[in-house]
Amino acid sequence: MNSSPFRLWEEFASGGAGAIYTFFGTPWIVKGICLLVFALIVWFLLSAYRFEGRGRT
């Protein structure tokens, strides 16, 4: 998946471009990633409750 905000080496190497991270040019994907991170945190917290008390069974 092409996620680079740069097409040319000169743009990337100039250092003047600021943000260089993946999908910087497509902000909706970055927001989608953040949403997915949040969903995984919720899954993790629910799992933490579910895995409790195994020693008592």
Partner 1 sequence: MTPDDIELFAKKTIETFYFWTGVLMWLIHAGFMVYEAGVTRRKNVLMTMMKNLLTCAVVTPSFFLFGWWIYYAFPHGILPISNALTAAALPWSAHMGPNLQDNITGVFWFAFLLFSFTTASIMSGAVIERIQLGAYLFLAMVLGSVVWILAAAWGWSDTAWLYTKFGFHDWGAGGCVHTVAAAFTFGVLLNLGARIGKYNDRGDPQVILPHNLPLTMLGLMLIFTGFYAFYAACAVFQTTGPWMSIYLTPMTLSSLAFTVTMGFSGGAMGAFIASRGEPYWTISGGLAGMISIASGLDVYHPGLGYLIGFAGGMIAVRFGNFLERRGIDDAVGAIAVHGGAGLWSMLAMGLFASGYPQHDLKTSLGGQLLGMLIMVALGFVPGYLLSLILKLTNRLRVSCEDELKGLDIAELGIEGVVPAGELSLAND
Which positions lie near partner 1, rule CB under 8 A?
1-4, 6-9, 11-13, 15, 20-24, 30, 33-34, 36-37, 40-41, 43-44, 47-48, 51, 54
Distance in Å, CB of 9 to partner 1, minimum: 4
Question: What are the Cα distances from residue 44, in Å, to 31, 33, 37, 50, 52?
Answer: 20, 16, 11, 10, 13
Distance in Å, CB of 32 to partner 1, minimum: 9
Distance in Å, CB of 24 to partner 1, minimum: 8
Instruction: Answer yes or no: are the C-beta atoms of 4 and 19 closer than 8 Å.
Output: no
